[in-house]
Each structure stands twice: as structure tokens, then as C-alpha cells.
Structure 1
Amino acid sequence: MTEAKDRNQKRERTAKERENGAVTVAQLHEFDEIIDVRSEDEFAEDHIPGAVNLPVLNNAERVEVGTVYKQVSSFDAKKIGAGLVSANIARHLQRFQDRPREWRPLVYCWRGGGRSGALAHVLMQVGWRAGRLDGGYKAYRRTVIDELQVLPANFDWRVVCGMTGTGKSRLLRALREHGAQVLDLEELAAHRGSVLGNLPDAPQPPQKLFESRVWQALRQLDPARPVFVESESKKIGNLRVPEKLIDTMWASACVVIDAAMPVRVALLKEEYAHFLGDAKLLNTQLDCLRPLHGSAVIDAWQQMGITGEWDRLTEDLLVRHYDPAYTRAINAHYPLLSQAVHFDLVENSADAMDRLAARVMARIVQTPAVV
């Protein structure tokens, strides 16, 4: 009797969830639009890739409702919250006036409860086939954490190595244009991975959002084809590369890009052009290297920046700082580096990079990885 009762209760729960539009993270692809009804701050910290933020309670309103809940009563808080939620949903509905009857929106909040349920209910009453993410953001986040532990091992990685200034990031973009599969971690992290790697007007995302971006990118890759990725350390700027991903990269086959010093200097002057017009910004970043190189060296580099001796400064940074640091790191973490195929970047030009990508594709994509 107990087992039969349990089965009946399970069927009733399933039917109720279906009626309420509850779906799982595995069903995200079934929907036309994903709506995050959490507050702006919650959304900024992390969200499902591609989601739009339409709060049913914004930052200030959440504080207001929370204060009433703590200082007065839950009943009064719910009364205030219900009014705010209703007004916000009414405003959000204006956004959906052009959606056809077949439109399928998925709504989620923190736990998949009241906030997402309120909007999902109204959308379903209109006649749209709305879904509500069961477990909300917390269920999504658990999926990201779990799948980042297993997804990296599914792919045949080809790690693009080379000294700073050999155009590794540019090569990834060129390979993508040639049809190769690419995971550009520095693009996802909004950082070039060095002390001067901050991108102008592009702050790094929070750690959780970075992990969501990586998760989304991995899910779009084909395990049957090689994936190119740039050699990285454990951190890109302030962000940590997911542990299983970096471990898998470190154990993968490598491709090395070589370039003469004049080519590297010319390329880096383009990559870091924002520093050429802002010596103050450059000197602030160079100050971070004082513990490694001492005040005399840093002062000399900063003076080169002030006087515009960019070729001399760039080469000196490469010879004294970047090349030794990169050599130590790459030799310590990539044991298959000695078996890598080498390619030369002969000049700093778009045509040269395109030709390099074509050579890499012709040689590497047809060659099984040696592990």
C-alpha cells in the first residue's frame, strides 16, 4: 500500500508540475526566450546565457519588501510585494505584444518559486506556452558546476602556445573564420591574461558569469572535431579557469607559434594601443611589477612610456618579463609541448595570420592528437 501511495503521489506531483509549466535545465533549448525575473544585481552576478532581465522586483523594491518583512510582518510584506510584482508584470507585458501565440518563454527566479511563478502564470493565462524553471537559478547553477566537471574531457583539445606577441588570440579568431572549433577563454573573460591584459571599457565578468559563459561554449562544441584553445594559466586576470578544464588543457596536444622579435613588437603595439596614448594608465599597471623587477627597472620602463619609446619598451618588457615568465609556466604545465608542431608567423598582417590559420587547419585538423 505504501509503494502504491508513493507512486500516486509522484504522479500527482508530476501532473501538477506540468500544469504549472515546470521544466528542467535540460529543456532550456525548447524555449524561444529565457526571462530572468530576479533583480538587476542578481542578474549581473550570473544568469543563464541569452536570458533577458525583467525583474518583478527590482533592487530597491526587494530591499523595501525585505525591510517590511523583518520589521513589521510577512503579511504586510506580501501585500506590498504583490502590488509591486503586479505593476511590474503589467509593464513587462507591453514588451510581449508582438509575440505570436506559438511563442514559448521560459521564466526563472532564484528558486523557481513566487517571482517566476507569478509571471509564468500570467503568460500562460494569456495563452502562451510559458515554462517555469523548476528549482530556478539554483538548479541551473548546480548544473553548471556539475557539467564543468565532466564536459572538458569530451573534447580533443589543441592548445595554441607561443611567446607573448606571437598572435595566439588572433590565430584563434582566424581559425574560427576558417571553420575550426575554438574556445576563446580570454574573450569570455574579457582579459588578455597578463599584467597589462585589462581591456579598455570592458570590465571582467563575475566568476560565476564567466563559468556560465564557459559552460555555454562547451555545450556548443562537437566532440567529433578538434577544439583550439589558447595556452592559459589557472587564472585569466582575476578569474579562475574551471579546474577540470585547465587540467585537461595542460594534458593536451600543443601547437606552437613562432615569430621574430620585430613581428612581436609590432603586433603588441597594435594589441595594446590604448596604452600608447595613456602613459599614466600604463605606468599604473607597470607598478604592479615592482616586486618582481625592482624600482630601477620599473622607473626606466615608465620613463620610456612617457617619452614614447614604444619599440624599446615593448622589447624590453618581452625580454625581461614576459618571455622568462611564459617559458617557466609553459614548461611546467604542458608536458606535451616537446611534441608540438611549430608554425611561423612571418609578419604582422591580416593576410599573414589568415595564411597561418590555413596552414594550421591543413596540418592539425587532419592529424590525430598524440597523447
Structure 2
Amino acid sequence: MKYPEVLSFNDLLPHLAQFDAIIDVRSPSEYAEDHLPGAINCPVLDDEQRVRVGTIYKQVSSFEAKKIGAALIAKNIAQHIEERFLDKPREWKPLIYCWRGGNRSGAMALILAKIGWPVAQLEGGYKNFRNHVNEVLPQFAPRFQWRVICGTTGSGKSRLLTSLASQGAQVLDLEQLAAHRGSVLGDLPSQPQPSQKKFESSIWQTLRNFDSTLPVYVEAESKKVGKLRVPEAIMEEMRKSPCINLRLPTEQRVELLMDDYAHFIEDTDNLNRQLDFLHVLHGKEKIKDWKQLADKGQIGELVRELLEKHYDPAYLRSINRNFLQSENALLIDQTGISHEDFLQSTKVILQSDLALAKNTAGMGNPTSAASKT
């Protein structure tokens, strides 16, 4: 076979796991916005060099730009080979891609192929992959049996998802993928949210490895998690799917939130800045009262006030309006927030779904029957 081998993403997809490395040769900023799952960044032009070559291309000529670009690309590829690839055996099989045109990935693919490695190059580059994600995400959504974890703020929905995952259940943790807890106080310290494209790629990567005959557990979310939009097709399926209502006494909810939001306790100035976003809903006087509680260190009282006056009413209105099966939800009552408490709730949920699956199979459900063939 002649290398480098140029393949479309649809042809590559069933064989992605067979590559020893997926190499993104785009600039660091392009890579940071989004990339193929598991790809490493080996830029053949860094951000500054890419701008420089692009400027010469527009203002002088394509010929001059190609000369300068070729020199820079050759130097960078040589550096990557010396620093990262010299120890690779003859059988090492990399997949290489760039943005779209193939010039940058083609340069590295050609050199690595000349060395003797069985190199593959992604035709159409990252754009080919992005088109695939845009196309299949809406198709993924109706394939799965969604189970939506509901519950007022602080009831431990994220911890329950973690517990479910630890027991082998299929979990789509949107807040984890979005690096945000989904509320006005949801920003994570020192962890910016990914781009919208990266968020969607992470969802695609998670769902493509799931078994469509088994439930997928997900937390009830609004259309946005922080600044990121949940794909519309997934939201539509979630909102009409069976719900699980997790309930926890208020005292334990306050304790859990003070644990999860400890960074605000340590930085009340940041907490007060976030409270300012609630002015429109609660007025300046109420926000002033809440800030005073924060400044006095009365965080437990502040959390209780926020739950009773802001989070609970808003959450219940949203759940009743948007999640059609919330009234018929499986009720899970917890009295504590320990690992064992969430593990016990996990066992109840999994046993309930197992019983439901057996009952459905006994009624001759076509999907259940097909899953056995």
C-alpha cells in the first residue's frame, strides 16, 4: 500500500482506535478550540507563524508565502520528529490532519511516510470531522433510552451520576463536559468552559461508545450550561423521557452546596460579584442583604436563603414546564450525602430499570428483542 493513505472521516471512524497517534498539526489556538478526541498537537506553524504566512499570502503573493511557509514547516516538522517520534518503531501508525486543505498535514504525512511509517491523512481535515459531528449528533439523540435525574439544587444530582457511572451505568454528565455547574454560581475556579465545538465533540465521543439498548442517565438541564448550548435534539429527547426525582432534606442540601462551592466561601468578593447577576430578579435590597451575610461569614444562612427564595422556585417552575414525565418520576429519598447514601440510591435506580427492562421484554418489545440478536 502506498503511504500516506488519504481517507475520509467516515472511512476512518471504525478504525480510529487502531492508530497509535492522532496528530493535529494546526496551530495551538485552533487545537485549543476543538480537536479530534485523543489528538496531540504538533503544529507545523504556530499561531504567530500562521498569521505571518497568511499576511504575506494576501499582501505579497502566494509564491512568496509558500516559500516562507515551507521553510518554517520543515523546521517545525524536524523538531517534532527529534523531540517526539525518534523512538517510534517501524509499525507505529499515525493519523494526521489539519484544518481542511491538507497542505499542512500533507507536508508532515509525506515526510513521515518517506521515513517508512504507515501514515494516514484525514481528507478534508478537521472540517470533515466537524461536519460528521454536526450530522450525527441529532441522529444519536432518539437512539437512546434516556433517564433524567431531577431534583432541586443541592440534592446531589451530579454525585448520583458519578455513583451511577461507578457501577457501570451509561452516564452523560453535561455539566462535567461543560466545566460548569449550570447556575449563576456555576463557574468552576480556574477552569474555563470549553468552546461550543469542543463541548459538542465531547458529547459525540461519549455517546458513540454507548449501547443503545441500555439506559443513558443525564441530569435535567436548561438549554444552556453556563455559556454553552445543549444540542437541541438531545434536549428534546430529555424533556419527554422518564424522570428520577432525587430528594434530600434542606439541611443536607446546604451542607452539600457549601462543600461543592467552597471556593466562594474562601472568596466572598467573587461570590458577591456573582450575586449581582440576581439584581433583576430580587431587587437591590435583597441582594444587599445577601452580600452582608456573605461578608459576615454566615454562608449557611445565605445558602438556605438562596435555595428558598431563588433556586427552588425557579427550578420547580422549569421542571414542571419542560419535563413532561416529571409528575410520574421515580422518587428517591436520601437522608444523607455520603458515598454510601448515593450508592444505595444508585442500586434502587438500577434495580428499577432492570425490572422495567424485564417487564418490557416479556411484553415482546421489538427493541428489546432486537438487542438480543
Check whether TM > 0.5.
Answer: yes
Partner of residue 268, structure 1: 257
Partner of residue 58, structure 1: 46
Q: How far apart are residue 244 of structure 1 and its match? A: 0.5
- Structure 2 counterpart of 1:349, which letter? S
Give per-residue Cα distances to partners, 1:281-315, cap 9 Å, x unaligned.
10000000000000111111111011111111111
Q: How far apart are residue 19 of structure 1 and its match? A: 5.0
- Correspondent of 1:39 among 27, 31, 37: 27
Give per-residue Cα distances to partners, 1:80-100, cap 9 Å, x unaligned.
000000000001112012222
Q: How far apart are residue 74 of structure 1 and its match? A: 1.1
Contact 2:4-2:118 within 8 A present in 1 as well? no
Give per-residue Cα distances to partners, 1:162-188, cap 9 Å, x unaligned.
000100000000111111110000000
The gaps in structure 2 that reach 5 residues or longer are 361-373
Q: Distance in 1 between matches of 2:219 and 2:125?
A: 34
3-state DSSP class of the match of 1:366?
A: helix
Contact 2:27-2:47 within 8 A present in 1 as well? yes
Partner of residue 25, structure 1: 9
Q: How far apart are residue 105 of structure 1 and its match? A: 0.6
Q: Distance in 2 between matches of 1:64 and 1:123?
A: 26
Partner of residue 134, structure 2: 145
Q: Distance in 2 between matches of 1:242 and 1:122?
A: 40
Contact 2:4-2:119 within 8 A present in 1 as well? no
Q: Distance in 2 between matches of 1:99 and 1:367?
A: 51
Q: Distance in 1 between matches of 2:173 and 2:337?
A: 21
- Structure 2 counterpart of 1:25, which letter? F
- The equivalences for 1:55-204 within 5 A come to 55-94=43-82, 95-204=84-193
Give per-residue Cα distances to partners, 1:316-341, cap 9 Å, x unaligned.
10000000110111111111111111
CA distance 1:202–1:365, change in 2 (3 Å): farther
RMSD of Structure 2 on Structure 1 (CA): 1.4
Contact 2:3-2:119 within 8 A present in 1 as well? no
Identical positions, percent = 50
Q: How far apart are residue 360 of structure 1 and its match? A: 1.7
Q: Distance in 2 between matches of 1:20 and 1:104?
A: 11
Q: Are 1:317 and 2:306 counterparts?
A: yes
The gaps in structure 1 that reach 5 residues or longer are 1-14
CA distance 1:186–1:120, change in 2 (3 Å): same
Give per-residue Cα distances to partners, 1:122-161, cap 9 Å, x unaligned.
1111111111001111111100000111011111110000
Contact 1:226-1:365 within 8 A present in 2 as well? no
TM-score w.r.t. the length of structure 1 is 0.93
Partner of residue 274, structure 2: 285
Give per-residue Cα distances to partners, 1:235-256, cap 9 Å, x unaligned.
0000000110111111111111
Partner of residue 3, structure 1: none
Q: How many residues align?
A: 354
